[in-house]
Amino acid sequence: MSWKPEQYATTYALLLSVITLAVDYVTGPYIHFPILFTVPVILAAWYHGWPRGGCLAVLLSILRFGLAWHWTLFTPWTIFADLANASICSIVLGMLAYFAAAAGREYRVLQQQARVLSGILPICGFCKKIRDSHGTWQVLEAYITSYSEAEFSHGICPHC
């Protein structure tokens, strides 16, 4: 069984969210690390799509607003400024989640389409058969068809 990152992406995104909020809380009301909120949002959106990434973006913005509301006694700005910042943060992180989900979806589609042959292929210089990993010789077309999604159509070139 191989390890797949998408199995644990939600766990890692939530763990990173908690760590980011903890760092934000420890540093107090005057030092902000908004760039750190992007990491769990991108992770959630990349592996699980826009709805989860968008929900995490809104949740992080609300929790950050809760921290800001907690600090209103210590800061010179008003609760309305904190509400505006939380709204902007939610919109920006939501857009980031949307684009990360689209990029992740496109990546998976391209990954499925690209089955690429790589390495050195032992080929007969005369008949052009290829030796596979079992030591048997296969016709070039059969080998390429079995190891990729390419198909062949045969014809005769003008020189022949």
- State both tokens at 31: 């030092």
| pLDDT confidence of residue 154 | 78
Q: Global pTM?
A: 0.68
pLDDT tens-place string over residues 99-157: 999 999 999 888 876 666 667 888 888 888 988 888 889 998 888 887 777 788 878 88
Question: Which of 13-27, 66-80, 97-111 has the lowest average pLDDT?
Answer: 66-80
Secondary structure of residue 59 in the 3-state scheme: helix
Q: Quote the tokens at residue 44.
A: 């959630």
Spatial separation of the C-alpha atoms in residues 151 and 89, rounded to whole Å: 49
Percent of the chain whose predicted confidence (pLDDT) is above 70: 93
CA atoms 49, 50, 56, 60: torsion sign:
positive
Contacts of 74 (CB under 8 A, 6+ apart): 28, 29
